[in-house]
Structure 1
């Protein structure tokens, strides 16, 4: 299986195990441009739902993938942008569920959860994982940098409303960033806000991968521990990571495909190439580092490989 446009992985997800990704959105197309985004800055800002790619094409690729492998724990609709911008999301999830008995999850920034059609589409999923990084307009604007018309109060109202209607598993995530939303006062605000949302799990994250903006930093272990204790959440950086996998036969193309959706650090890249029994790993890494398609970011002393 040489060319995969929509399906990728499985990749190790600290929450979902071996996650087979399905991306219905073009690269960096989003209604947020989060300062911590591991894909870099959003360069196609939009809040308009569209059928970016034909539903039939995505489903056909998924069917072809299943002919070769079913070694994954969950199908995750996510990819390179905000998946709720895909106008046929509900149909996509329904069709995926017809083809596999594995759970289908959707990872979303939650910005469109006040849209009744989006709520309806997400009802089809087994797990919905919305982010809620701000606790007011000011913090949301600072972290999420939303598309002009998006208002925090409306987004929050949508998340609360959806959480009480949804019958599946709702796994919330809060991204905590140094000096922005990690103070005791901030944690107190999140606590108040969480009381209004009906969720199954709460994950607390910090930017362990290179963020979109260079001055964004992860929070201290002490502050994470405090947040975990106060909010009753699970710290994502304490969950163990698994292994990357790709059905693409060409080693170089498989790295390119994975790093486009999920940047890999130097250890993950080496481990991935070893798992594929690549003979000259150092030469392959050198080729990647010289390739203008890749950004090689040195973050906290560790190299991360991201597709531009």
Structure 2
């Protein structure tokens, strides 16, 4: 007898990575309900009752209805934000808050659902300082790091460590002449730092002189490691200059990955490392909603199938 419990995929309209996962699930006969929080309430509605058996009710999109008590798994990717452009700014702020804690609270409380990942756990893991501290506890090599709004402290850090890079603590949309950009990782010298550092928090980190980068994608119990070779400080700035090679993560790294995943309650994570000149793997960050499908296209590693297995709950 077929399992009719749906998988919820929560993401924006344009998400090619989610598209390939949904296609794989469809090919397996697994029901899928795709929704975007930005569609609420215009084309997405919720009816949820808190009962002795947990949350009961339904989510309704223009083409699908999901029984909240029957959702087998939820794939939380990159939904757009709530928007209420037809009302005043104050009313929109109130409505968006109610939607976040109402619809968002319901989505985060589905009984018996496997979350990949739970939105609250994603939120916890997206804070770089807590991620770096957890990485130290997990046993990773972590470059000396300073988070500061004090220019003197930043200059002293650079003087102490010599080769230092600046990294944004998070990358929101940043428009330059109307075009979306990201703030790039850049090497900084002592003379580059001025009193504008006092304007907000900044992250400075000792630069690791590397021979390569490695992306490790953890999907449930499986780990897919890919060596990325380039001559770039930040390989994400030019994908055309990258070459990819599947590699096996050292056993110590695999154990530390599992400790890190368990610390944040994740089942998926995209981990970035750089390989130092001594061969050590240095932890840089973990993105709990990171991209991964382009690596399957480059290497043939079966990551989409692994993620579909997880969402289908085959094991």
- Mark yes or no: TM-score above 0.5: no
The two structures have a TM-score, normalised by structure 1, of 0.30
Structure with bigger strand share is 2
